[in-house]
Amino acid sequence: METGTVTTAAERLFVSQPAMSKMLAGLEIDLKLKLFEREKKRLVPTDEAELLYKEVRRLFSSLTDIERFAQDLREFRTGELRIITATSIGHTLVSEAVVAFASEYRDVNIKIDTSSTVGNDVLRQNVDLGFSVTQFHHPSLHTEALFHAESVCVFPKGHRLLERETITPRDLEGADFISYTRDSRMRHLTDAVFEQQRVSRKMRLEVFTSAEANALVSRGLGVAIVEPLGVHFGNWSALEIRPFAPALEFTYSVMRPQDRGDVALAKRFLAILHPKIAAFAERSVPMPETLKIRLPRERS
φ, ψ of residue 207 in degrees (nearest 5):
-130, 165
Residue 1 falls within a domain, yes or no? no
Q: Is-contact 129 83, C-beta < 8 A?
A: yes
One domain, residues 103 and 174: no
Residue 267 falls within a domain, yes or no? yes
The answer to whether residue 280 scores a pLDDT higher than 90 is no
φ, ψ of residue 112 in degrees (nearest 5):
-125, 135
Domain containing 38 — which CATH number? Answer: 1.10.10.10
Side-chain half-sphere CA neighbours of 71 within 13 A: 6
The residues with which 215 forms a beta bridge, in sequence order, are: none
The answer to whether residue 51 scores a pLDDT higher than 60 is yes
Please state the pTM of the whole predicted model.
0.69
One domain, residues 164 and 215: yes
pLDDT band at 300; cut points 50, 70, 90: very low
Q: Which tens digits make up the pLDDT trace of 73-98? A: 565 555 789 999 998 899 889 999 99
One domain, residues 156 and 239: yes
- Give whole-number Cα distances, 65 to 45, 78, 193, 253, 281, in Å: 28, 13, 62, 38, 45
Domain containing 260 — which CATH number? Answer: 3.40.190.10
**Residue range 250-266: mean pLDDT, rounded:** 84
**Closest by CA position to 211, among listed 114, 78, 94:** 114
Neighbours of 87 (CB within 10 A): 17
Residue 165 falls within a domain, yes or no? yes
Q: How many domains is the chain built from?
A: 3
**Residue range 19-45: mean pLDDT, rounded:** 87
One domain, residues 230 and 161: yes
One domain, residues 113 and 135: yes
Q: Of 74, 108, 127, at which residue does a domain stop?
A: 74
Residue 67 falls within a domain, yes or no? yes
Q: Which tens digits make up the pLDDT trace of 181-210? A: 988 888 999 999 999 999 999 998 999 889
Looking at every residue in the chain, the average pLDDT score rounds to: 87
**Residue range 257-268: mean pLDDT, rounded:** 79
Q: Of 74, 100, 119, at which residue does a domain stop?
A: 74
One domain, residues 290 and 217: no
Rounded Cα distance, 270 and 255, in Å: 11
**Closest by CA position to 118, among listed 107, 105, 133:** 133
Q: List the domain range (segments joined by +) for residue 123.
A: 80-148+251-294
One domain, residues 136 and 158: no
Residue 300 falls within a domain, yes or no? no
